[in-house]
Chains A and B, each alone.
Chain A
């Protein structure tokens, strides 16, 4: 970074960071034991929430210059937000992190290819569901072509980081594009009608995890919901927000609010913890736009995770759920737990399945290392966290590891692959498992 760039960043920190929120951290350190990167780095303050807030405040106060070390400290944060529920002072760490990342990203000097790639991914791909469908359908063509076997055989994937190579193996089979396109937009309730819900279909959830979305719809129907899938909805914008592209995220938030207002449902349902956590903060990210903030609040008030709505509608008592005898454990989605505060419901649902012996995993509430695109941009730390996570998973002797977010699902699949247990252990989304138990 040049001196001028540093000055500009410093200026933006002074202008844009929420200074009251920075001061709100009274440095008690209650966050430290909950921070995965603080623990994994051997208790380095630089990689703790308290340390990161001090760094942000340090730049704002002009005590330190923004440099690569500080950028790295912020980059290494998983954004799991486990520090928030344990913070007695109620510091909104996630918001501070998003703001700081956004400022740093704005001033980042990136090589032309990286810039183009970012622009491509953030502006041209994710905000356009049809393009995303195209992109994933290419993956589907690749998967069905027999190429993966060849690629693995000739060691092509070895050219990529270990984490990517593992990931490639565990990606779900993408449905054909036609199948996605032909899915109806309305599904009628079964049994007694309880509510009308609008499904937030998501971007990757509605392509790569299409079958999980279908399972979610089936569960909602069985629970007595009319299910609408509003047209014109987009990716939630979490990926953008967490990567410092807040401006783009705001645009997407507005389009989504528009799309869901039209549906006029009782609830808006998500089945991905990461998306849910971003959607539930639309009122925060649009806080400085008066004409949007009320609409955002209404949107937010309707939002519920699939587990939460099922429990609210007493699904587990009104249906017989049964699986072959097995031990099941649950890995929390950090965002579902720490931001949406949904953690007892998925456990309750799993415990109500006949044949399931539910075994709570030690540290189920800590991040698995997936964290959005973290496992791609910080593969080393992600794998370190995952390997420690797998030790805990194996201790439960579970046959099935249940998750509630696509990133976590892939990460757990990768973890199972890494410990060589593919075949004897599986990772599954809670919606898929519940549907299985129902049938």
Chain B
């Protein structure tokens, strides 16, 4: 298309967008476009043509319909905290901001549900329900910033995933705007509902590639009566890994079982100054919740196990306040690691928890092999590790080695029966590897669904489906 034609097309599009959402909700200034050109994923940036902020579900649907008609790419966005470049508008088009849909619509204490719009900050939901003695367990580290819509689209996890699962496990009903401009509702406030395909689950974690969630009804559970936190310290990383497997093998499921290596401990301590011991090689942060007596018993047994697996020390958090400080400190791990080098690339490799020790060892061997610096922390209890590479995007040779190292890490994770991503989503960063996990036939099923729901392919272009699958270094077994 010639420049003049593009200009004309854009000005026509602007006019139509304005007629749907109003003038002040369409931004095409260069500063407005720039600040929505990125998310929290390093090295991905692209300018959209427009930033559009609809005020209700109907406007969202109308914008999608218009985009389908004009074949304009749409990238829906919450707070942009995701780590797989899912909200980066790689092909231009529209960034669809959902910040104006920020209402908590209903707290239903009889059915134990809460109904929210996508732009609500996750922490607000947590705080509100906990005041009522209820509990919304998913707690991604970014929950103070991230929106529930983003959590739903990415199927976010968090520190409590081991016992309580991920976002998907708490979604009962959705309202979704489809690319054809229809609004549909899936599910309901029902514990039992087997009518038809499970569209709710299909849209949760679909990473904005199928439609836009405009409302969600979430399941709540009673708030656990009490909780206790311990720190187990290790001079041997593998001993920490073994402790995780042994705890689970003893039929105990803590709410949180987090692993931090020495680099991570140091970076976090440097930020928080809460007195983490920086002279140990690894820490397990373990939390149990539930009825008081059971928590006491579990924490006692877990501490025993850690000691028998060569923990050099096991410490009990003195108060709830201290426990909260520890959890908050852990949530800052990724950003704190960013202190060490200009570029921080975090991955999300996940293995069955029995393989944690093997995976941790493999990661350090791979880092050594490619001569790159990788720190590891993560949700050890659910096998979800975050090997994090500290590098400098300006060093092209190192970046190549980083990519190779991560390819090998993914390969190892899959070989151990694991997956590419436990909670962050596929987005752009893992799209080239997705076929390794799903197989060609699996990808074909996904393509078929995508084609049926979004025939024009406008939704979150460039994500999940890779143009080219990365070649495996070692042929699949």
State the A residues within 8 Å of B (CB): 20, 23-24, 26-30, 32-33, 42-43, 45-46, 48, 50-51, 54-55, 58, 63-65, 67, 69-70, 73, 87-90
Contacts and interface: CB of A to CB of B under 8 A. Distances in A.
Interface stretch (B31-39, B212-220, B281-289): B31-39
Interface of B: 29-32, 34-42, 45, 47, 79-81, 99-100, 121, 142, 144-146, 268, 270-271, 332-336, 338-339, 342-344, 393
B346 to A, nearest CB: 9
A32 B121 CA distance: 12
Which of A58, A64, A67, A88 has most B Cβ within 10 Å?
A: A88
A87 B335 contact: yes
B40 A29 contact: yes
Nearest to B123: A33
Contact of B31 (A20, A42, A64): A64
A70 B31 contact: yes
Given A24-B342, A32-B79, A54 B34 contact: yes
A32 B332 contact: no
Contact of B30 (A48, A69, A87): A69
24 contacts: A26-B42, A27-B40, A27-B41, A27-B80, A28-B334, A29-B146, A30-B145, A30-B335, A32-B145, A33-B121, A33-B144, A42-B99, A45-B36, A54-B38, A55-B31, A63-B37, A63-B45, A64-B31, A65-B30, A73-B31, A87-B335, A90-B270, A90-B271, A90-B339
Contact of A30 (B35, B41, B99, B332): B332
A63 B338 contact: no
A42 B98 CA distance: 12
Nearest to B44: A27
A64 B30 contact: yes
B395 to A, nearest CB: 12
Contacts of A43: 79, 99
Given A29-B81, A88-B335, A46 B35 contact: yes
Contacts, number: 98
Contacts of A73: 31
A46 B343 contact: no
A46 B99 CA distance: 14
B336 A88 contact: yes
B182 to A, nearest CB: 28
B336 A89 contact: yes
Which of A24, A28, A48, A63 has most B Cβ within 10 Å?
A: A28
Contacts of B333: 88
B28 to A, nearest CB: 11
A275 B393 CA distance: 38
A27 B338 CA distance: 10
Which of A20, A26, A58, A64 has most B Cβ within 10 Å?
A: A26
A307 B114 CA distance: 46
Contacts of A64: 30-31, 34
Given A67-B31, A88-B271, A26 B335 contact: yes
A69 B39 CA distance: 21
A39 to B, nearest CB: 11
A26 B344 contact: yes
Nearest to B121: A33
A258 B391 CA distance: 43
Given A24-B342, A28-B81, A30-B332, A63 B145 contact: no
A28 B36 contact: no
Which of B47, B81, B121 has most A Cβ within 10 Å?
A: B81
A180 to B, nearest CB: 42
Contacts of B41: 27
Contacts of A45: 35-36, 80
A70 B29 CA distance: 10
Contacts of A69: 29-32
Contacts of B146: 29
A21 to B, nearest CB: 10
A55 B34 contact: yes
Nearest to B343: A23
A36 to B, nearest CB: 15
Contacts of A51: 35
Given A63-B34, A64-B30, A33 B336 contact: no
Contacts of A27: 38-42, 80
Contact of A29 (B29, B79, B268, B393): B79
B324 to A, nearest CB: 16
A24 B336 CA distance: 11
Contacts of A90: 270-271, 339
Contacts of B339: 24, 88-90
Given A23-B343, A26-B40, A63-B47, A88 B338 contact: yes
Contacts of B145: 29-30, 32-33
A55 B33 CA distance: 10
Nearest to B392: A23
Contacts of A24: 338-339, 342
Given A63-B45, A73-B31, 5 more contacts: A20-B342, A23-B342, A29-B81, A46-B32, A65-B30
B338 A26 contact: yes
Contacts of A42: 99-100
A54 B35 CA distance: 6
A67 to B, nearest CB: 7
